[in-house]
Amino acid sequence: MTSPSSSAHGAAVPPAALDTILEARHLVKEFRGFRATNDVTLGIREGEIHAIIGPNGAGKTTLFNLLSGFLKPTSGEVRLSGERIDTLPPHQIVRRGLSRSFQISSVFPTMTVRENVLVALQSPTPLPHQFWTPLSRLDSLNDQADRILTDVGLADAPTRLAADLSHGEKRQLEIGISLTQNPKVLLLDEPTSGMGSEGVARVIDLVRQVARGRTVVLVEHNMSVVAELANRITVLQYGSVLASGVYDDVRRDPRVIEAYLGDEAHA
């Protein structure tokens, strides 16, 4: 699938495993000399739910932004299905099948729930002569929007104003907006942040639902969510990968216990 290539440091990078869909190779991101991402090499396998965890300031959001093209690496590469994507603008990365949600809401508050999804559904066809969308296409877009709203548990809320949604419902809508591009890889940035236990349980169900038939990478602070959802996890510390693998193995890794999981790992 991918052939060996030279890293930023000139070292040969072995080919990714055959089932790797998203890959970071020797990624480095510096902010005025400070390394927020320090030589991260990581493979996300097709169809898995992969959680990126680590203490505050470990570099999770920076890595997330690098993987989705919202930040350009200082050096290193990101590959999607073997193709290099770190050189592409974010909208082209979306077209190749990678979408992301944002920690800060991307929802338009003055639009209805369905309108928010419709706007996102129309965004891949921004040609000026398509400003007047034919009615037949509008019908099909409405059908698609309603299917997505059903998938994210908002089937009964299409005409509600987004501003009137609860915090949890807004996160559901954001995930719905990310699904409009039918991504093969979905990146979710702290999908349970700011939620009570009921909302967290709903998001766990939702992530399981949207992960059917696609790959999900999530940044998540809540370890019980990670334990419930993740097939594999990567632990970051000081911008570097401390450990990566199956959840149960990584949580027993003494370096991880020391750095992050603490007493939770003994629970």
Ligand X SMILES: Nc1ncnc2c1ncn2[C@@H]1O[C@H](COP(=O)(O)OP(=O)(O)OP(=O)(O)O)[C@@H](O)[C@H]1O
Near ligand X by CB under 6 A, which window of 16-24, 52-60, 155-163, 205-213?
Answer: 52-60
User: What is the separation of C-alpha 54 from the centre of its chain, rounded to a whole number of angstroms?
Assistant: 16
> Which one among 20, 62, 116, 222 touches ligand X, defined by CB under 6 A?
62
> Is residue 155 part of the contact set for ligand X (CB under 6 A)?
no
Q: Is the four-CA dihedral 197, 192, 104, 160 of positive or negative sign?
A: negative
Which CB atom, from 60 or from 202, has the smaller least distance to ligand X?
Answer: 60
Q: Cα dihedral sign for 86, 90, 92, 97?
A: positive
Q: Residue 66, interface with ligand X (CB under 6 A)?
A: no
Contact with ligand X (CB under 6 A): which of 51, 58, 162, 242?
Answer: 58
14 is an interface residue for ligand X by CB under 6 A: no
Nearest one of 250, 252, 177, 178 to 215, comparing CA atoms: 178
Chain Cα centroid distance, residue 177: 13
Residue selected from 59, 73, 153, 176 as contacting ligand X according to rule CB under 6 A? 59
Give me the residues paired with residue 51 across strands: 218, 233
Q: Of 57-65, 129-137, 172-180, 207-215, which part binds ligand X (CB under 6 A)?
A: 57-65
Task: Tell me how far, at minimum, the Cβ of 54 lies from ligand X, in Å.
Answer: 5
Q: Which DSSP category does 72 fall into?
A: -
Judged by beta carbon, residue 116 or residue 192, the one nearer ligand X is: 192
CA 72 – CA 83 distance, rounded (Å): 16
Q: Which residues bind ligand X (CB under 6 A)?
A: 31, 34, 36, 54, 56-62
